Structures are given as structure tokens and as C-alpha cells.
């Protein structure tokens, strides 16, 4: 059965109105498996309007069917589609997370509950299989993680917004076989207080333990800033981000020492630091935040040197540093189960060829996540801390996101081709093979 979700219909619904009609969420949860497509779609819209309560009703009502999640069962496929539509996330049956796609509604819930907001920006849509690669790994390795899922449900109001469609590529082998993939694109989680103001941002993919640690550090700050005025809020955020920078510098220096990475001497920033300074002294310098205005500029002045040091680290060095953080990427049983299901609908070991093949794939994936984690923390997250530690700069989430995608992810809004059609390269194709379809197709979406 196909569930049809009508654009805009859900905006006229609200949970109190639905309850006033005398229909409980659990009743709607039963109707999502109706053979009448209109009734099933109506039930999905109603459950979406109930918010997290509506999603939980699906899990309570269909526990047995969810536990089996047999892709050969048409009822399961229908239920899975309903869960994804209500939660607004692909593979929501594993994560159990409810995502707002309307920011005003997310902010209203945040103000009502006092929780901060975790706002994801991505290419494509989180409720589609082919969203950008990072967001797919979020679903498989982060949101599927039991601890991450529980923490997000208890501590945050969740929201996502598509920055732009994700580029796709299809390779047709001409014999009935094809491969479809997405190319380029990055994602970022923004921690916002209940007023929607930026507190922190986690760029790209992190291992689950590292992701939880970063959110645990930002959450209490978001709870405080929601209750502060502009000046006091700015002071608290400056202190927080300078402290986080200090900790990143300390950890970076420790990793370099443990990995025995030889750093290329820095000459390009001689004006910023004394010529006789040790190259890695900036990373290790223990500057406390509360010592006044003198030390704050000192810590920020280290940024160019740290960036130069990071550029001098080669791929083999990054591998060594990533190996020090293997504990930050452990995949739990729920994530592994979803991975098996992704590879084979039957979720059998034989689909991988052998258990050894699966374990080899798993080691490669964990190594990749570990490297992503350290690169994102030391390169991107440190830069974001520097931006947010400057009281003179004020960012809304949209303006900060624009800067992130332009300067960090290198996919600016001004480039409609996302760097895939460089002007200085000759392709020997008419119009460089670029085609623009004039008609547009809107996707049915729920707020």
C-alpha cells in the first residue's frame, strides 16, 4: 500500500483539536494499516499533528510487527512508511525520533518544554533514502544508537531543514544493472536555545560517544542562555567557546604527542608568534578564560598558527590521530542491526558473503568515522568556536549556516553546481554537459 501525504493539510490540525474529536492517537495508529488509502493517509496526518505522542502511539500499537520488521511483509512496509512520515525521518522505526520540519513549531515546543533545539541542516531530505551521505550515516550510526536516541528524545526538540537538493548520479551498466549514489554535500547539527539563538554547532559526522559528549557540553549553556539578556548571554557564550577552544588545543597537542606526529615548521605566521616559539606550543598553551581581556585576543591569535599546523598533517598522520579515538566511534547493537538490514532485506550474515566480510567492512567504517570525528572537531568545530567566541559577531542560525557552507564545506549558495562544473576545465561537451529542466516538481512534505 502506498501512503499519500497531502501538502498543507496538516497545518489545519492540532493535537487538542484531534483529542476534542474523541479519537485517541492509538486509534489513528491502527488506521495507518487500513486497506483504504485515504483513511491510512488521514491517520498519518493526524499522528503527525500529535507530535511525539503520535509517533509513540505507532510504536505502542504495533510492537510485534516492528520487532519482526520483515521486508517481505506488505503490512510491515506500510507501517514502516507511516513511521517515517510521522517522524519525518527515514529508518525512524530504529531511531524513534520525531523531527519538526517547521521551525516555528519546533520553537513553540522548545519554549513550552524548556528544552533546547537541535537543528540539522542537510542536502536533500532526512525522510528520503537518498539524502546526502553524512545524513545517511547520521541515521545509521548516530540516531540508531540507543544512547543517542534516548538522549535526544529526553533533552532536545529536533528539527531539520534542507539546504538544497542533493546531487545524484546513476551509473547504468546497460544490462539491467545500475548503481545510484549521491555525490558531494555535508551536514551540520546546530544547538539552539529555546529562543532559537545559536549556542554551538557540530559540523559533519561524529562517532556516537563524541557526539553525545559535545551535546552534553552545549546543553547546559543552551538552558542558561534562554533565560539571559543580550549582554549577559554574550558574555556566557564567549566564555563557553573560549573554554572549548582551550580544550581542543589541549587535546590536539596531546594527540600529536601520542601519535608522534612530526610537525613541519611554520614560517607563514611569524608575525603572529615569536620566531623561536615551538610549532606546537600554540596548541598546548594553557590559557584560562577568566583572566581578562588580555588573554582572549591571545587565544584567538593562535588560530592562524593552529590552522597552519593542521594543514601540515598528512593522511597517514590523521590515521594515527584517529586511532587514538577508536572509543569514540563504537557502534552499538541497534546500529549494527540496521546496517545488516540495509545490506540485505533478510538481514542475514550470508548476504555479506561471510561474517568476516562484514567485520572487515565494519572496521573500515569505524576507521572512517574516527577520522571524520577528529577532522571535524579539530578543523571545523574549532573554527566555529572562534567565530562564536567573538562578542561583536552575532549570528542567526541561517546566517551562520550560510558561512559554514561557504567557508568550511566549500559549497556556497552562489554556486548552483556545487563545484561539480568548474569553469576552468574543458569537458569537450556542448554547454559542458549542463542541462536545466524548466519544469519544477514539488515534494509532498509535512511540517
Reported as a single tens digit per residue, the pLDDT across 275-295 is: 343 333 333 233 333 333 444
For helices 37-50 and 52-61, give the axis angle rounded to 10 degrees.
130
Is 145 a domain residue?
A: no
**Contacts of the segment 26-33: beta carbons below 8 A, 24+ positions apart:** 26/57, 26/60, 26/61, 28/54, 28/57, 29/54, 29/57, 29/58, 29/60, 29/61, 29/62, 30/61, 32/3, 32/58, 32/78, 32/79, 32/82, 33/62, 33/75, 33/78, 33/79, 33/82
Is 350 a domain residue?
A: no
Is 101 a domain residue?
A: no
Closest among 56, 84, 80, 52 to 68, alpha carbons compared: 80
Question: Which DSSP helix (H) or strand (E) runs through 210?
Answer: helix 208-225
pLDDT value of position 391: 64
Whole-model pTM?
0.83
Cα–Cα distance measured from residue 311 to residue 302, given in angstroms and rounded to the nearest whole number: 14
Is 5 a domain residue?
A: yes
Is residue 124 within 8 Å of residue 166, measured between CB atoms?
A: yes
Cα–Cα distance measured from residue 209 to residue 335, given in angstroms and rounded to the nearest whole number: 13
The x, y and z cell numbers of residue 69, run together, are 520488521
Is 26 a domain residue?
A: yes
Is 78 a domain residue?
A: yes
Number of structural domains in the chain:
1
- Residue pLDDT, tens place only, 248-260: 888 888 888 899 8
Determine the number of helices (DSSP H) and then strands (DSSP E) in the chain.
Answer: 20, 7
Is 76 a domain residue?
A: yes
pLDDT value of position 16: 53
Is 63 a domain residue?
A: yes
- Structural domain for 62, as ranges: 1-87
Cα–Cα distance measured from residue 415 to residue 434, given in angstroms and rounded to the nearest whole number: 13
Name the stretches of the chain with pLDDT < 50: 1-2, 4-13, 20, 265-296, 298, 345-352, 440-442, 444-446
pLDDT value of position 280: 33
Amino acid at each position: 500500500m502506498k501512503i499519500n501525504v497531502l501538502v498543507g493539510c496538516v497545518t489545519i490540525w492540532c493535537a487538542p483539536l484531534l483529542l476534542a474529536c474523541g479519537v485517541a492517537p492509538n486509534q489513528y495508529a491502527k488506521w495507518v494499516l487500513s486497506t483504504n488509502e485515504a483513511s491510512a493517509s488521514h491517520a498519518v496526518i493526524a499522528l503527525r499533528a500529535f507530535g511525539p505522542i503520535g509517533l509513540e502511539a505507532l510504536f505502542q500499537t504495533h510492537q510485534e510487527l516492528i520487532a519482526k520488521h520483515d521486508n517481505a511483509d506488505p503490512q510491515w512496509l506500510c507501517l514502516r512508511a507511516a513511521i517515517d512520515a510521522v517522524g519525518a525521518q527515514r529508518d525512524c522505526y530504529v531511531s524513534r525520533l520525531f523531527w519538526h520540519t517547521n521551525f516555528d513549531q519546533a520553537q513553540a515546543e522548545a519554549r513550552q518544554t524548556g528544552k533546547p533545539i537541535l537543528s540539522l541542516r542537510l542536502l536533500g531530505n532526512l525522510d528520503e533514502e537518498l539524502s546526502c551521505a553524512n545524513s545517511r550515516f547520521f541515521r545509521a550510526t548516530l540516531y540508531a544508537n540507543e544512547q543517542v536516541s534516548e538522549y535526544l528524545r529526553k533533552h532536545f526538540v529536533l528539527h531539520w531543514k534542507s539546504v538544497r537538493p542533493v546531487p545524484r548520479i546513476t551509473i547504468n551498466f546497460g544490462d539491467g544493472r545500475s548503481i545510484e549514489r549521491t555525490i558531494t554535500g555535508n551536514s551540520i547539527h546546530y544547538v539552539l536555545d529555546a529562543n532559537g539563538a545559536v549556542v554551538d554547532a557540530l559540523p559533519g559526522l561524529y562517532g556516537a560517544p563524541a557526539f553525545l559528549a559535545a551535546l552534553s557540553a552545549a546543553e547546559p549553556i543552551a538552558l542558561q542562555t534562554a533565560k539571559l539578556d543580550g549582554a549577559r548571554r554574550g558574555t556566557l557564550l564567549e566564555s563557553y567557546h573560549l573554554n572549548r577552544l582551550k580544550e581542543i588545543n589541549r587535546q590536539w597537542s596531546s594527540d600529536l604527542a601520542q601519535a608522534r606526529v612530526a610537525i613541519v615548521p611554520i614560517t607563514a605566521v611569524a608575525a603572529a608568534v615569536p620566531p623561536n616559539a615551538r610549532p606546537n606550543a600554540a596548541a598546548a598553551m594553557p590559557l584560562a578564560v577568566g583572566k581578562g581581556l588580555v588573554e582572549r585576543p591571545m587565544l584567538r591569535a593562535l588560530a592562524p598558527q593552529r590552522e597552519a599546523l593542521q594543514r601540515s598533517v598528512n593522511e597517514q598522520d590523521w590515521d594515527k590521530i584517529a586511532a587514538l579515538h577508536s572509543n569514540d566511534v563504537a557502534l552499538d547493537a541497534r546500529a549494527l542491526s540496521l546496517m545488516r538490514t540495509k545490506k540485505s532485506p533478510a538481514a542475514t550474515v550470508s548476504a555479506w558473503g561471510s561474517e568476516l566480510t562484514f567485520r572487515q567492512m565494519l572496521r573500515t567504517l569505524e576507521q572512517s568515522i574516527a577520522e571524520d570525528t577528529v577532522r571535524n572537531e579539530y578543523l571545523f568545530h574549532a573554527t566555529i568556536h572562534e567565530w562564536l567566541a567573538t562578542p561583536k559577531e552575532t549570528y542567526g542560525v541561517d546566517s551562520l549556516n550560510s558561512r559554514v557552507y561557504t567557508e568550511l564545506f566549500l559549497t556556497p549558495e552562489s554556486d548552483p553546481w556545487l563545484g561539480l562544473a568548474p569553469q576552468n576545465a574543458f569537458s569537450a561537451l556542448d554547454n559542458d554537459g549542463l542541462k536545466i529542466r524548466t519544469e519544477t516538481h514539488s515534494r509532498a512534505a509535512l511540517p
